Amino acid sequence: MHVVPIIPFLWCSFMLGIIAGVSAESDQNCGVDGSPDCIEKNVPSGISHLTKNLNKYSKESNEYWSYLQLIHQAKQSYSPCNANCSCHYAQIKADLKPFKDGISIRTLEQAKKSGTLYQIIGGQVYRDEECMFPSRCAGIEHFLNEVASDIPDTELVVNVRDWPQVYNSRSSDIKLPIFSFSKQEGVHGDILYPAWSFWEGGPAISLHPTGLGRWDIRRKTIKKAAKKYPWKKKENKAFFRGSRTSSDRDSIVLLSREQPDLADAQYTKNQAWKSKKDTLDAEPASEVSLENHCPYKYLFNFHGVAASFRFKHLFLCGSLVFHETDGWIEFFYPQMKPWIHYVPVPAGAPVSELRNLLDFVRNNDLEAQEIAERGRDFISDRLRMADVRCYWRKLLKTYTKLLTYRPQLRPLLKLIPKK
């Protein structure tokens, strides 16, 4: 007499029941013979190839299945944004929504305390005499000058610090129009602009003393490096190098110490480094160029003080990016979707969760490669320098329409000539 194991039976029936399109007859057949093939026969067509190597009744199978379902659901609901520069316009609309009733000169005067004042008057760019971070201002000014001839007279307050300046608060009726490169969704109300580092500045490390800068040039050098390491030639290992600007990064470093065959992750020095405690009780590692991230299949991205500048660069390697989903965004993040363009990593994920995610992608290489390719193609096709300029132009035109006054050239501002 054949006895059906109760745990496999219940698990199989439950999993099949949550897949759209699976008939009651399929459930019944699975339960009658307890066949391991019941899942493979009835999974959605888009992910059926992923089940072939699974032990259907193992603990790992249960964990993997939840990831497979998330991938399938993401594919079902995903709608690519337009291939032209309107891809990111939804972020402009969302950021400016709080100002739908207009921005008064009084409101702008209040905002001035939290950033650098810029004006575009008669197609010329003007700025406060002083700038806290000259290279950051230079990166911003490059793009302002690029689009100035298309912008009506306007003025805006730009935050060049790392940290956003506007907190969402029900207790305050006044929303200040302050432009920042990054913010945490639901926490900050800053207006996002493309970071200065698309042209100049960015993290200053020994490999790049003046910052990463020049996105157009960096794109080419990383893509060139990536050609040497197509997917099949990449090392089947996770990789991370960076300073300890957030303890959320600890888990991947600890996993690397436990299982060096699975991950190579180490902390480097930054300006605040004082002792080995700042690198999790280890000597700081040498910095590694972004181009030399390309030999690895899996690259990790975590927020630091704010959104991480490395994020967009990692995709160009054609590697699979693991991205911490903690709410920190730049203007282009919202159009990139978990399980479509990257593998989402919960904020503060423990070592065990990172291990599970890596085990999953290593056992599902085809799906991992497809996600990596979609991520690479998005950054390559939807985040060109032309897209950055287009975003600035649309942002400033839309913002300027909200001003309830016509700006006049203010005294003591300096002209910023186009270079």
Q: What is the pLDDT of residues 295-335, one digit of tens each?
A: 999 999 998 888 999 999 999 999 999 999 999 999 999 99
pLDDT at 60: 61
Element at 124 (helix H, strand E): strand 124-127
Indicate the SS3 state at residue 115: coil
- Of the chain, the percentage scoring pLDDT greater than 90 comes to 71
Check 27, 95, 150, 162 and give the catalytic one: 162
Per the DSSP assignment, residues forming a β-bridge with 157 are 117, 178
3-state SS assignment for residue 292: helix
Q: Which long-range contacts (CB under 8 A, 24 or more apart) does 85-89 make?
A: 85/386, 85/387, 85/390, 85/391, 85/394, 86/394, 87/335, 87/382, 87/387, 88/331, 88/332, 88/334, 88/335, 88/382, 88/387, 88/391, 89/394
Confidence class of residue 173 from pLDDT cuts 50, 70 and 90?
Answer: low
What is residue 9's predicted lDDT score, i.e. its pLDDT?
36
pLDDT higher than 70, residue 344:
yes
Instruction: Give the H/E segment covering residue 144.
Output: helix 134-147
Decide: 36 and 56 in contact? Cβ < 8 Å. Answer: yes
Give 3-state DSSP helix, strand, coil % of the chain, rounded to 5. 45, 15, 40
Flag whether pLDDT at 5 surpasses 60. no
Amino acid at 366: L
**162 catalytic, yes or no?**
yes
Give the bridge partners for 124, in sequence order.
121
pLDDT one-digit tens code per residue, 391-404: 999 999 999 999 99
Which residues, in sequence order, are CB contacts of 405 under 8 Å at separation 6+?
A: 104, 105
Rounded to an integer, the average pLDDT of 62-86 is: 91
Q: Where are the alpha helices (DSSP H) in 348-384?
A: 351-363, 365-382
**Does 255 or 59 have the greater pLDDT score?**
255
What's residue 281's pLDDT?
83
Please state the domain extents for the chain: 6-77, 85-195+387-416, 215-329+333-382
Please tell me which residue, 6 or 96, carries the higher pLDDT value. 96
Residue 3's pLDDT band, with cuts at 50, 70 and 90, is: very low
pLDDT, one tens digit per residue, over 24-41 is: 444 434 433 333 344 444
Give dist(CA 40, CA 57) in Å, integer. 12
Distance CA 178, CA 311 (A): 24
Give the relative orientation of helices 89-96 and 385-400 as an angle to the nearest 10 degrees. Answer: 30
Q: Which of 64-68, 281-285, 311-315, 340-344 has the lowest mean pLDDT?
A: 281-285
Q: What is the mean pLDDT of the chain?
A: 87
Class of 215-329+333-382 in CATH: alpha beta
For 322, phi then psi, to 5°, come to -100, 115
* Nearest to 147, CA basis, from 385, 388, 393: 393
pTM: 0.85
Q: Please state the rounded mean pLDDT for residues 371-393.
A: 98
Are 248 and 326 a contacting pair, CB within 8 Å? yes
| Predicted pLDDT at 283 | 86
Inform me whether the pLDDT recorded for 59 exceeds 90. no
Tell me what pLDDT residue 171 has: 58
Cβ neighbors of 295 (< 8 A, separation 6 or more) are 229, 234, 235
